[in-house]
């Protein structure tokens, strides 16, 4: 092989190492959200060997069944997307999508918590009016400031 061919083989070897490390970082950080192992696109070098020059890992980016599950999944998706030392543009897009999903889940959790808090006193009053007992906790009003 010529010196140019040897140089090209070294470049391909380096790219192969980078691509494989990048995709394995996604897999290692994506437990529970990775749907498939790494798949690679290859280039054949002047030495006749195939070198990975691109790759991808399947990640399930769908929300969970509950806001809590969605929040957990979003955090795992974001971690998997940003796991490589040098995340790609597509990796950053997936991470942003996961951050948005997490924000929506947090809003839903906050809304649910607010609604449950608001329902607590109203339910206690309804029980008291109907002759039932109000719940022990949270049923008293503190009028001292």
Residue 118 predicted with pLDDT over 80: no
- Per residue in 19-54, pLDDT (tens digit) is 999 999 999 999 889 998 899 999 999 999 999 999
Which residues are 38's β-sheet partners?
57
> Residue 83's pLDDT is what?
96
CA distances from 46 to 19, 61, 107 (A): 19, 39, 55
**Cβ pair 46, 84 in contact under 8 A:** no
Of 1-10, 46-55, 95-104, 110-119, give the lowest mean pLDDT range. 110-119
Tell the residue number behind the tokens 């991808």, with chain if given: 56
Q: What is the pTM of this model?
A: 0.73
Residue 50: strand pairing partners: 44
Largest distance between two CA atoms of the chain:
96
At residue 112, the pLDDT reads: 85
Amino acid 97: pLDDT: 95
């Amino acid at each position: 092989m010529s010196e140019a061919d040897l140089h090209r083989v070294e470049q391909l070897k380096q790219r192969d190492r980078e691509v494989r490390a990048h995709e394995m970082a996604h897999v290692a950080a994506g437990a529970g959200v990775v749907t498939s192992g790494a798949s690679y696109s290859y280039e054949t070098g002047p030495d006749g060997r195939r070198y990975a020059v691109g790759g991808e890992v399947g990640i399930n980016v769908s929300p969970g069944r509950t806001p809590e599950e969605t929040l957990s999944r979003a955090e795992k998706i974001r971690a998997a997307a940003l796991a490589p030392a040098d995340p790609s543009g597509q990796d950053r897009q997936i991470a942003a999508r996961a951050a948005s999903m997490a924000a929506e889940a947090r809003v839903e959790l906050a809304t649910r918590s607010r609604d449950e808090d608001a329902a607590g006193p109203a339910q206690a009053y309804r029980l008291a009016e109907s002759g039932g007992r109000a719940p022990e906790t949270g049923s008293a009003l503190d009028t001292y400031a």
